[in-house]
Amino acid sequence: MRFIFKKIVIIFLSLIFCSNVAFADNTYFIDFTRVLNESKAGSEAQKKLKDKFESESKKFKLEEEKIRKEESDLISQKKVLSNEDYQKKINDLRSKVSLIQKSQQESLNSIAASRNNARQTLLKSVNPIIKKYMEENKIRIVLDKQSIILGDTTLEITDKIIDILNKEVTSIKVD
């Protein structure tokens, strides 16, 4: 009885080991962050978004400086103005500050939404490329590098996918 049990355990373990070896031969990984950052379309989209962010930042800095100047002018006029006029101008200044902050937040949200849309568009372009690559090279599974603790670098296909993506998708639209 023990002999049969040992034989069953050995067969079972060898089946598990063989299936793991076969699974490992057809499993590759890709670094999607690198694909998004280093591909032509991805880096171009990031450059456009960075430029948009910097121009918006400059615009808001100029508006902030203008508000600070108004504030200092108002403080210098405090003794000349009546209390009611002074309070009215302070309230106007506060409302301007509030509008600028609201506009700045809307601008940041718009840039974040544009970045997310560009990322999703690029990922939609990458998926068929990966699928075609998998079919051509008889790959069963492609995993994201972030979900892998350790892996043989020969199993990484990021550079190959970036090369194919650069040939097929040269740019993406950024809102």
- CATH number of the domain that residue 123 is part of: 3.30.910.20
Predicted pLDDT of residue 81:
81
- Tokens representing 81 are 């103005």
Task: Let me know: does 100 contact 27? Beta carbons within 8 Å.
Answer: no
On average, the pLDDT of the chain sits at 84
In a domain, 129, yes or no: yes
In a domain, 63, yes or no: yes
Question: What average pLDDT does the segment 66-88 reach?
Answer: 86
How many angstroms separate the CA atoms of 151 and 76, rounded? 67
- Domain containing 130: what range? 2-168
Provide the number of structural domains found in the chain: 1
* CA atoms in the 13 A half-sphere facing the CB of 51: 8
Q: Is the pLDDT of residue 127 over 50?
A: yes
In a domain, 50, yes or no: yes
In a domain, 36, yes or no: yes
Confidence band for 80, pLDDT divided at 50, 70 and 90: confident
Question: CA 85 → CA 56, 76, 78, 82, 102, distances in Å?
Answer: 33, 14, 9, 5, 26
In a domain, 40, yes or no: yes
Select from 144, 151, 147, 117 the least CA-distant residue to 130: 144
In a domain, 174, yes or no: no
In a domain, 173, yes or no: no
* CA atoms in the 13 A half-sphere facing the CB of 24: 10
Question: What average pLDDT does the segment 39-50 reach?
Answer: 92
In a domain, 175, yes or no: no
CB neighbour burial string for 27-44, b if at least 16 within 10 angstroms, e if fewer: ebbbbbebbbeebebbee
What percentage of the chain exceeds 70 in pLDDT? 86
Least confident of 24-28, 70-74, 123-127: 24-28
Entry pTM:
0.72
